[in-house]
Amino acid sequence: MFVERLWKSVKYEEVYLRAYESVPEARTGLGRYFKFYNAGRPHSSLGGMTPDQFFDRAPAESAAA
């Protein structure tokens, strides 16, 4: 289910809003989007954290448990 939600987000937040002229342009745009998705976009399923924030703290919490 996660992957389906991810691709829906990619399509609606990036692909459908851009008119890529070429494959290299699409790669650049998607690369930029995934950096934003992981580092700048809060996710409600992660308690408002970005994936980077969530996974940066996860090992510390599991080691403490």
pLDDT digits (tens, 9 = 90+) for 11-60: 999 999 998 999 999 999 999 999 998 899 888 888 888 988 888 886 65
Q: Looking at this protein, which amino acid is placed at residue 62? A: S
- Taking the whole predicted model, whether its pTM rises above 0.85 is answered as no
Rg of the chain's alpha carbons, rounded to an integer? 15
Q: Residues 43, 51: contact at Cβ < 8 Å?
A: yes
